[in-house]
């Protein structure tokens, strides 16, 4: 049977989706791409996703899906036993929606616009550096707000969810593990609980040595 094809890059947001596939027991094909402007694989990525972002997923019927949260919903639909999204009627579902969307709509873009800041300010190195610094600071505020909402042992409390996969991946990105341990210890624990799952560890240990 044809498998979904995931375009991703090591250590990027595509690992969130890889963990989701593993937890749902769904096999997928993988194609490594580099989204940088001068990369030889960028044209291929743009062909699939005009925004030039990973993850980008080609479904078995040829349809394209982008956006981590949309893809995680698709994975959950393929295997309703996967514990990525609290089912309808579950008390934690409203919190899941609020904070999962907060992660992708508020937190994730702080890397998108800060990673290579000069790209968004017509190549101006100094303005790019300032953009990176301000988005890095803004992210810390957002993460602290999330920390205030974080339960134990998982973000939603007793229930593991895809939010913990975001935390597991993002805790390896700026501002890094030391900041998370000191400033967001509850979320660091939830990230570690996710990372202790073999399906998640296999991906994270592959990319973050």
Task: Check binding of 13 to ligand GSH (CB under 6 A).
Answer: yes
Show the CA angle centred on residue 144, arms to residues 139 and 149, nearest 5°: 125
Out of 7, 54, 58, 190, the residue judged to bind ligand GSH by CB under 6 A: 54
**Backbone dihedral angles phi then psi of residue 205, each to the nearest 5 degrees:** -70, -25
Half-sphere exposure of 71 (CA within 13 A, CB side): 29
Q: How far apart are CA 131 and CA 112, in angstroms?
A: 11
Out of 74, 96, 99, 108, the residue judged to bind ligand GSH by CB under 6 A: 108
**Backbone dihedral angles phi then psi of residue 46, each to the nearest 5 degrees:** -65, -30
Which of residues 13 and 86 has its CB atom nearest to ligand GSH in the complex? 13
Residue nearest to ligand GSH (CB): 53
Out of 23, 33, 35, 95, the residue judged to bind ligand GSH by CB under 6 A: 35
Task: Check binding of 48 to ligand GSH (CB under 6 A).
Answer: no
- Which residues would be at the binding site for ligand GSH (CB under 6 A)? 12-13, 35, 52-55, 67-69, 104, 108, 112
């Amino acid at each position: 049977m044809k498998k979904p094809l995931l375009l991703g890059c090591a250590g990027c947001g595509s690992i969130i989706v890889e963990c989701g596939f593993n937890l749902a027991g769904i096999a997928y094909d993988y194609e490594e791409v580099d989204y940088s402007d001068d990369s030889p694989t960028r044209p291929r990525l743009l062909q699939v996703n005009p925004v030039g972002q990973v993850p980008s997923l080609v479904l078995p019927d040829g349809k394209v899906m982008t956006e981590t949260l949309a893809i995680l919903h698709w994975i959950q639909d393929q295997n309703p036993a996967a514990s990525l999204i609290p089912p309808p009627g579950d008390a934690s579902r409203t919190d899941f929606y609020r904070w999962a969307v907060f992660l992708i709509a508020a937190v994730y873009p702080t890397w998108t616009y800060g990673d290579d800041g000069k790209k968004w300010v017509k190549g101006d190195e100094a303005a790019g550096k300032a953009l990176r610094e301000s988005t890095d600071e803004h992210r810390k505020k957002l993460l602290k707000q999330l920390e205030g909402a974080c339960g134990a042992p998982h973000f939603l409390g007793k229930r593991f969810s895809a939010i913990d996969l975001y935390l597991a991946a993002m805790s390896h990105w700026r501002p890094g593990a030391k900041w998370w341990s000191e400033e967001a210890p509850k979320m660091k624990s939830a990230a570690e609980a996710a990372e202790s799952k073999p399906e998640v560890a296999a991906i994270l240990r592959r990319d973050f040595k």
